[in-house]
Amino acid sequence: MRWEAVLWLLVLQAAWALAGGQVRYSVPEEAEAGTVVGRLAQDLGLEAGEAEARRLRLVAQGRRASVEVSGASGALLVSSRLDREELCGKSAPCALRLEVLLERPLRVFHVELEVTDINDNAPIFPAARKNLSIAESSVPGSRFPLEGASDADIGANAQLSYTLSPSEHFSLDLQKSNERNIEPELVLTKPLDRETIPVHRLVLTATDGGRPSLTGTMELVISVLDANDNAPQFNQSVYKVQLPESAAVGTLVMRVNAMDPDEGLNSEVTYAVTNFIPPNGRDLISINPNTAEIHLKAALDFEEVNQFDFRIEAKDKGAPPLSGHCKVVLEVLDVNDNAPEVWVTSLSVPVPEDASVGTVVALLSVSDRDSGENGRVRCWVWPASPFGLEATFAGSYSLVLREALDRERVSEYEVEVRAEDGGAPALRARRGLRVPVSDVNDNAPAFAQAVYTVLARENNAAGAELARLWARDPDEAGNGRVSYSLWEGGAGGGWRAASSYVSVDAESGRLWALRPLDYEELQVLQFEVRAVDAGEPPLWGNATVQLFVLDENDNAPALLPPAGPAPEAAEAAAGAVSVSEPGTLWAWAAWGAPAGQVVAKIRAVDADSGYNAWLRYELWEPRGKGPFRVGLYSGEVSTARALDEADGPRQRLLIVVRDHGEPARSATATLSVSLVEAAEAALAAAAGSSSASSSSVSRSALGAEPGPGGAASAATNVWLVVAICAVSSLFLLAVVLYVASRWAPRAAVLSG
């Protein structure tokens, strides 16, 4: 019955193939040899016997076709085992393309043979036995992937399903990796206990979808590993320890201990330090992994970190290892190992010398990294100065001005701020500040003397330096830069301006003459010199200069003209006619005049002063024992003896007037004395008395005896000369003493 169905299927397929223009056949794999696949000759339209006559055959293929053409019947037969999996693997459909050759005439036909799959392959696992090791600590829900089985068939014959033998600890879960593949996973459904069941044996079965279905199995051997299910436990969860920051490196901080109730390697514990807060603590602490002794491996610093928190991990040697943890709090105790620190946060210098009291000069910050009394700081300023400290808020101070400044007294202060903490022993720090004082124009220029006495000789050259004046201004820069100028003064009753005689250099204070000075014109010049600084506003100071012009003997004595009538008039009155010679003075003397009779007085003046103006008179001609003589200082010409006719009618006298200067200067006077009778002399005297008879240049005397008036006049002239000399000497002495008194203490009098 089965073979009949197959034959009908082949007939229908052949008819369909011929209708489509190509012969197609289908044969199930594993068909027995000799099985007729199809009536090829008939399907190709050949007559009976024609297939053999025309040698109908298959063309040799590159791979074995497992079919052949029967020469007698022309049928396509199975010649050897057909294995679809060998021929096509997993490809579907599995179609073999054959070429059929027919001779006389030569023709080639294409035949397609499809080998259909049958469920001839059971599912196969990679191994018949799978060993698994699962820790007893695995939690329910844990998954363990398993390798699935494979089936060489295709289609439904290769669609697999899995089942697991019953177990209260495990179940099977199938995961689809794609549309065709299913991956089995072993799922733990109940906690394991190795001490109860050390090994679980299960069977995994794979079943394909063929009819009938085929199966494959794999044994699962599950070994339960002993779990390290007891972690080490510390006897304290938190350890607290205190250590001074001065503790030496290597100091034992503490020792901890953890217990593990497991046995063997699971109970052997090692220690490690983790989770440092702050992180740099790992550089300070070390722990012995076996003894749990904690040591310092670096110096502590309270000011850096005053507390360390870290965890100690105790780990056993189980597989997997378990660990326990405890927390250690290391408190660092402060010691006074830090001196105070002083910083200048702001410095406002230079400080103007007119700054008001309370002015803030600098802002300082003071701190001590220690704590408590070790960090409590007091500050002060050293040495004593116009500055002081004022606390603004904690750790901040202001350096303020406590007293008025004077740059001219102190131009810069070296201020030292000292700080001391409250530790035992106390530590100190200092910070130096340089506080320069800036100048303000608060000092007027001041001369070394209020009054300068300057002596200058007359006839000096124009531009000659008379003196140098100097005013000191203790300010600096422009405030202390002094310029000089004349502050007008005058001389004489007409108030002649000092600027017409002298000038002062604005930069150097050099006092110089604009023109030659003339004592006869100017004896004393008083004026003021002003020194002005360049500050803003400018300040000034004045000094009085008294310029005394010293006389030089630059003027010769000058003869004064007679005050009486001309000699010609006198002679006319006497009845004699005479012509006067130029530069000649006339006098009359009576015959018989006794010795000592004043017959004339030579009057002369000298514009100089003192010795330069002290005159003396000398009779130059005639020399020897003449009848006349001249008073040395009075200038009076008197008879040296009684006059007689032997002396002649006229005597010519040459008189020299000299001063006492160095060198001395002189003038000459010619005196012509007429010897007349007493009546003529009386007439000349009467003519002289009718005019202004007060002349001191020429005087006539009548009579033989000198009158008392003539003697008194001569005495008066002598005393007048003596008085003038005395006054001049006293004046000169006063000037010298004044100059000496000024020069001795100050050495400031300059003489030009």
DSSP string, 613-625: G--EEEEEES-SS
Q: Residue 77 has what pLDDT?
A: 85
The residue-averaged pLDDT of 318-324 equals 87
Q: 67 and 152: one domain?
A: no
The residue-averaged pLDDT of 244-271 equals 90
3-state secondary structure of 689: helix
Instruction: Look at the chain and report how many structural domains it folds into.
Output: 6
Contact status, residue 553 vs residue 661, Cβ threshold 8 Å:
yes
Q: At which residue do the structure tokens 């602490």 appear?
A: 285
> Per DSSP, what are the bridge partners of residue 182?
176
Q: 363 and 433: one domain?
A: yes
Residue 8 has pLDDT above 80, yes or no: no
Distance CA 382, CA 419 (A): 10
The residue-averaged pLDDT of 596-620 equals 92
Residue 181 has pLDDT above 90, yes or no: no
Q: Residue 87 has what pLDDT?
A: 77
Of 289-303, 560-574, 634-648, give the lowest mean pLDDT range. Answer: 560-574
pLDDT per residue as tens digits for the range 331-387: 999 999 889 999 999 999 999 999 999 999 999 999 998 888 998 999 999 988 899
What dihedral angle (degrees, nearest 10) is formed by the CA atoms of 569, 573, 576, 578? Answer: 0
- Determine, yes or no, domain membership for 121: no
Q: 391 and 519: one domain?
A: no
Of 110-119, 569-578, 676-685, give the lowest mean pLDDT range. Answer: 569-578
Q: Classify residue 682 as exposed, middle or buried by CB count within 10 Å of its CB (0-12, 13-18, 19+).
A: middle
DSSP element (H, E) containing 684: helix 678-690
The residue-averaged pLDDT of 162-179 equals 87
The residue-averaged pLDDT of 545-570 equals 76
Q: Residue 681 has what pLDDT?
A: 66
Residue 55 pLDDT class (50, 70, 90 cuts): confident
Of 228-242, 504-518, 690-704, give the lowest mean pLDDT range. Answer: 690-704
Distance CA 71, CA 76 (A): 10
Distance CA 631, CA 621 (A): 14
If one compares 709 and 175, the residue with the highest pLDDT of the two is: 175
Q: Residue 428 has what pLDDT?
A: 94
Q: 82 and 140: one domain?
A: no
Q: Is 479 left (phi over 0), alpha (psi -120 to 50) or beta?
A: alpha
Within 10 angstroms of residue 110's Cβ, the number of other Cβ atoms is 12
Of 85-89, 173-177, 525-529, 681-685, give the lowest mean pLDDT range. Answer: 681-685
Distance CA 25, CA 17 (A): 8
What dihedral angle (degrees, nearest 10) is formed by the CA atoms of 129, 135, 140, 143? Answer: -50
Contact status, residue 117 vs residue 83, Cβ threshold 8 Å:
no
The residue-averaged pLDDT of 65-70 equals 80
| Sheet containing 107-116, strands listed edge to edge, beginning at the edge strand earlier in sequence | 23-28, 107-116, 94-102, 57-58
Distance CA 320, CA 325 (A): 17
- Determine, yes or no, domain membership for 730: no
- Determine, yes or no, domain membership for 607: yes
Residue 571 has pLDDT above 60, yes or no: no
Q: Which residues contact 495 (CB under 8 A, 6 or more apart)?
A: none
Q: 525 and 459: one domain?
A: yes
Residue 173 has pLDDT above 70, yes or no: yes
CA angle at 53 for the pair 52 and 59, rounded to the nearest 5°: 60
Q: Residue 83 has what pLDDT?
A: 78
If one compares 61 and 700, the residue with the highest pLDDT of the two is: 61
Residue 745 has pLDDT above 50, yes or no: no
- % of the chain beyond a pLDDT of 90: 49
**Best CA proximity match to 125, nearest among 209, 221, 204:** 204
Residue 3 has pLDDT above 80, yes or no: no
Q: Which residues contact 384 (CB under 8 A, 6 or more apart)?
A: none
Distance CA 616, CA 726 (A): 16
If one compares 53 and 597, the residue with the highest pLDDT of the two is: 597
Strands 482-491 and 598-601: unpaired
pLDDT per residue as tens digits for the range 501-550: 999 999 999 999 999 999 988 999 999 999 999 999 999 999 999 999 99
- Determine, yes or no, domain membership for 19: yes
Q: Residue 739 has what pLDDT?
A: 62
Q: 105 and 180: one domain?
A: no
Contact status, residue 606 vs residue 612, Cβ threshold 8 Å:
yes
* Encoded tokens for 99: 């070429």
Between the CA of residue 12 and those of 24, 54, 117, what are the distances in Å?
Answer: 10, 26, 20
Q: 356 and 423: one domain?
A: yes
Q: Is 581 left (phi over 0), alpha (psi -120 to 50) or beta?
A: beta
Residue 556 has pLDDT above 80, yes or no: yes
Residue 492 pLDDT class (50, 70, 90 cuts): low
Q: Residue 749 has what pLDDT?
A: 35
Task: Give this prediction's pTM.
Answer: 0.47
Tell me the residue range of the domain where 31 lies.
2-116
Q: 704 and 578: one domain?
A: yes
In the 8-state DSSP scheme, what is residue 308? E
Distance CA 709, CA 601 (A): 14
Cα 383 → chain centroid: 28
Cα 470 → chain centroid: 43
Domain end position, chosen among 310, 330, 350: 330
- Determine, yes or no, domain membership for 726: no
The residue-averaged pLDDT of 250-255 equals 94
Count of H-run helices and E-run strands, the chain: 7, 50
Residue 466 pLDDT class (50, 70, 90 cuts): very high
The residue-averaged pLDDT of 698-726 equals 44
Strands 502-504 and 510-513: antiparallel
3-state secondary structure of 316: strand
Domain end position, chosen among 225, 256, 278: 225
Q: Which residues contact 740 (CB under 8 A, 6 or more apart)?
A: none
- Determine, yes or no, domain membership for 147: yes
Residue 165 pLDDT class (50, 70, 90 cuts): very high
- Determine, yes or no, domain membership for 735: no
Q: 31 and 151: one domain?
A: no
The residue-averaged pLDDT of 586-600 equals 89
- Determine, yes or no, domain membership for 689: yes
Q: Residue 722 has what pLDDT?
A: 64
Domain end position, chosen among 200, 225, 250: 225
Q: Residue 61 has what pLDDT?
A: 60
Q: 320-330: buried (b, 16+ CB within 10 Å) or exposed (e) per residue?
A: ebbbbbbbbeb
Q: 111 and 142: one domain?
A: no
If one compares 349 and 36, the residue with the highest pLDDT of the two is: 349
Q: Residue 56 has what pLDDT?
A: 86
In the 8-state DSSP scheme, what is residue 725? H
CATH of the domain at 431: 2.60.40.60
Q: Residue 723 has what pLDDT?
A: 65
Residue 13 has pLDDT above 50, yes or no: no
Distance CA 293, CA 307 (A): 19
DSSP element (H, E) containing 50: helix 50-53
Residue 684 pLDDT class (50, 70, 90 cuts): low
**Best CA proximity match to 97, nearest among 108, 105, 89, 107:** 108
Residue 743 pLDDT class (50, 70, 90 cuts): low
- Mean pLDDT estimate for the chain: 83
Residue 742 has pLDDT above 80, yes or no: no
Q: 597 and 687: one domain?
A: yes
Residue 750 pLDDT class (50, 70, 90 cuts): very low
Q: 631 and 647: one domain?
A: yes
> Per DSSP, what are the bridge partners of residue 382?
416
Distance CA 724, CA 611 (A): 10
Q: Residue 248 has what pLDDT?
A: 93
If one compares 685 and 144, the residue with the highest pLDDT of the two is: 144
pLDDT per residue as tens digits for the range 397-437: 999 999 999 999 999 999 999 999 998 899 999 999 999 99
